[in-house]
Structure 1
Amino acid sequence: MAQGDYQDFVVVVTGASTGLGRAIAVETARQGARAVVINYAHNREDAEETARLVRDLGAEAALVQGDVARDEDCRRIAAAAEPYGRIDALFNNAGTTKFAGHADLEAVTGQDFLDLYAVNVVGAYQMIRACRALLEAGPRPGAVVNTASIAGVTGIGSSVPYAASKGALNTMTLSLARALAPKIRVNAVCPGFIDTPWFGKGLPGAAVDKIRANAAAGTPLQAASTPEDIAASAVFLASPASRHVTGETLLVDAGSHLGFAPLVAR
Structure 2
Amino acid sequence: MFEQKVVLVTGGSSGIGQAVCIRLAAYGAKVIVHYSNSKAGAEYTLNCIREQGGEGYIVQADVSSEEEVKHMVALAMQRYGELHCVVNNAGATEQWPLEDLDGIPDEVWDRLFAVNVKGMFYVAKAARAYLIQQADSAIVNVGSVAGTTGIGSSLPYAVSKAAVHGLTKSLAFALAPHVRVNAIAPGAVDTRWWAGHEEKMRRLSGDMLLKRISTPEDIAESICAMLVQRSLTGQIITVDNGQTMA
TM-score where L is the length of structure 2: 0.95
Match of 1:144 among 128, 139, 143: 139
Residues 117-151 of structure 1, C-alpha deviation per residue, up to 9 Å, x if partnerless?
0000000000001111111122x231100000000
Unaligned residue ranges in structure 1 (runs of 5+): 261-266
Match of 1:81, SS?
helix
Cα-Cα RMSD = 1.6
Work out which of the residue numbers 218, 224, 230 in structure 1 matches 2:219.
230
2:31 counterpart letter in structure 1: V
From 130, 134, 137, the equivalent of 1:134 is 130
- Aligned-partner Cα distance in 2 for 1:175–1:212: 31
Matched residue, 1:165:
160
In the alignment, does 2:242 pair up with 1:247? no
Q: CA deviation at 1:107?
A: 2.4
How far apart are the structure 2 equivalents of 1:107 and 1:21?
31
Cα shift at 1:81: 2.5
What are the Cα deviations for residues 87-123 of structure 1, in whole angstroms up to 9, with x where unaligned? 1110000000111111111221222111100000000
Structure 2 residue 8 is matched with structure 1 residue 12: yes
Q: Percent identity?
A: 39
**2:71 is matched with which residue?**
76
Secondary structure of the 1:195 match is coil
Alignment of 1:205-216 (within 5 A): 208=198
Opposite residue 66 of structure 1, the aligned amino acid is A
Q: 1:60 to 1:254 in 2, by over 3 A?
A: same
- Count residues with an aligned counterpart: 245
Q: Deviations over 1:44-65 (max 9, x none)?
A: 1111000011122222211111
Point out where structure 2 has 5 or more consecutive residues left out of the alignment. Answer: none
The amino acid that maps onto 1:244 is: S
User: Is the aligned partner of 1:44 residue 2:39?
Assistant: yes
Amino acid corresponding to residue 14 of structure 1 in structure 2: T
Does residue 154 of structure 1 match 2:145? no
TM-score (normalizing by structure 1) = 0.88
Equivalent residue in structure 1 for 2:243, among 256, 261, 264: 256
Specify the SS of the correspondent of 2:182.
Answer: strand
Q: Deviations over 1:194-232 (max 9, x none)?
A: 1012221xx2xxx73x56766777100111110001111
**Which protein is bigger by CA-based radius of gyration?**
1
Supply the distance in 1 between the matched residues of 2:62 and 2:235 (Cα, whole angstroms): 26
